[in-house]
């Protein structure tokens, strides 16, 4: 009986030893830990400190990475905020090539060359009201003509700056611009630029010679009288001569040619509305006094002509005209445009002699010489002697009558 128990005991011994061994190891480790006490604590502290350092280093690395990312984003933001700002038109010059401007289109013209190629020009203004001419060549006409529209605002980048050497200048800027294939047109109507009202040239300044012969001006006035007109091309060009007056009753002669004249003649012949006829001319040229009186006229294709049209400039002028008539500054206008036309020397109802004598006062030469203001008067005289010079006998024709006289 003892032997089987001994066998059984022998079989259980390894298990007991294993348990004892494992337990002994734990006890030895615990004992060693107890014996080493402070050193073990130092090791644990050291390990904890190392872990904290690793964690701190990791945090620093993450922070550094985040900082780099933030720096990169900040750099990108800086790049976007440092984008070129638009220059003012007054600062434009031909000393550099890269320009950027924010402008509004004031006026636009389509131009056809002799060989039939289409292009266009525009006058643009910036937020300060300064203006400059922009040329869009034939190569860009098909692309930009539908895009660039009057009264819209745009950003123009990268264009040529040329000297403004035109015979008749649309603006007083020293330079003009020319768009190229590398020009960028963007930001349609994203700029708050007011549309500028024309700066009409004062009639008194024109009479005083305060103007440039190479610069075009805006003119507005009410038709006071209509002179010689020719609607059919003949020995003379199609033309219309009339007189404009401003709100202070200052007057200036005006001559229109070709299709501008036909627009005026057609309007005055067909319109029967009673009231003033307001003529607004943008980009008109002033012709100095020479063989003919000082006058304003149209250019070949740059002038824009408006007759009693419902544009802000004419509507404002009509309002101020009514005030001037009410104040007695100028006389009321009761004739219709067709009546003014029929009374002119170019009409069919009156001859030049009848027009001259209409409502005229008959007086002698001494009375005429003593007049203090312009008066429509008639006198009868005899020719006593004709004084000639080295060019013979001649006189300048009236602007209302194209006939001239020559003597022996």
Q: What is the mean pLDDT of the chain?
A: 79
Sorting pLDDT into bands at 50, 70 and 90, what band is 349? very low
**Predicted structure pTM score:** 0.65
Domains 89-186 and 202-408 share a fold: yes
Superfamily classification of domain 202-408: Nucleic acid-binding proteins (2.40.50.140)
Domain boundaries, the chain: 12-83, 89-186, 202-408
CA 274 from centroid of its chain's CA atoms:
36
Q: How sure is the predictor about 360, in pLDDT bands with cuts at 50, 70 and 90? A: low
What is the second-level CATH architecture of the domain 89-186? Beta Barrel (2.40)
Question: What is the pairing mode between strands 118-125 and 278-287?
Answer: unpaired
pLDDT band at 254 (very low <50, low <70, confident <90, very high): very high
Selected residue with higher pLDDT from 309 and 405: 309
pLDDT in tens, 91-140: 999 998 899 999 999 999 999 888 889 999 999 999 999 999 999 999 99
Position 4 pLDDT exceeds 50: no
């Amino acid at each position: 009986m003892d032997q089987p128990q001994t066998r059984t005991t022998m079989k259980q011994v390894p298990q007991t030893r294993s348990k004892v061994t494992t337990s002994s190891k734990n006890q030895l480790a615990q004992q060693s830990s107890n014996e080493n006490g402070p050193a073990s604590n130092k090791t644990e502290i050291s390990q904890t400190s190392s872990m904290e350092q690793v964690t701190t280093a990791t945090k620093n690395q993450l922070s550094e990475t985040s900082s780099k990312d933030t720096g990169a984003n900040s750099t990108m933001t800086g790049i976007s905020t440092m984008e070129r700002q638009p220059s003012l038109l007054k600062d434009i010059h031909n000393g550099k090539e890269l320009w950027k401007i924010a402008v509004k289109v004031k006026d636009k013209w389509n131009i056809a060359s002799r060989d039939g190629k289409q292009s266009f020009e525009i006058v643009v203004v910036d937020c300060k009201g300064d203006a400059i001419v922009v040329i869009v060549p034939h190569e860009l006409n098909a692309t930009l003509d539908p895009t660039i529209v009057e009264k819209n605002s745009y950003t123009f980048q990268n264009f040529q700056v040329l000297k403004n050497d035109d015979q008749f200048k649309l603006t007083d800027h020293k330079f003009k611009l020319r768009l190229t294939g590398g020009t960028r047109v963007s930001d349609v109507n994203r700029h708050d630029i007011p549309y500028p009202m024309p700066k009409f040239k004062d009639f008194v300044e024109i009479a005083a010679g305060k103007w440039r012969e190479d610069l075009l001006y805006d003119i507005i006035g009410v038709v006071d009288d209509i002179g010689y007109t020719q609607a059919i091309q003949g020995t003379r060009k199609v033309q219309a001569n009339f007189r404009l007056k401003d709100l202070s009753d200052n007057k200036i002669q005006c001559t229109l040619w070709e299709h501008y004249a036909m627009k005026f003649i057609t309007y005055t012949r067909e319109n029967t509305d009673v009231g003033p006829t307001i003529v607004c001319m943008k980009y008109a040229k002033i012709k100095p006094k020479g063989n003919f009186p000082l006058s304003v006229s149209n250019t070949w294709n740059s002038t824009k002509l408006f007759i009693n049209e419902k544009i802000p400039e004419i509507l404002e002028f009509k309002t101020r005209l009514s005030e001037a008539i009410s104040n007695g500054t100028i006389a009321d206008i009761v004739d219709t445009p067709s009546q003014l036309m029929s009374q002119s020397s170019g009409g069919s109802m009156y001859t030049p002699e009848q027009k001259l004598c209409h409502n005229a006062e008959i007086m002698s030469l001494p009375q005429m010489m003593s007049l203090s203001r312009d008066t429509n008067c008639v006198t009868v005289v005899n020719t006593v002697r004709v004084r000639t010079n080295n060019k013979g006998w001649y006189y300048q024709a009236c602007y209302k009558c194209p006939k001239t006289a020559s003597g022996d």
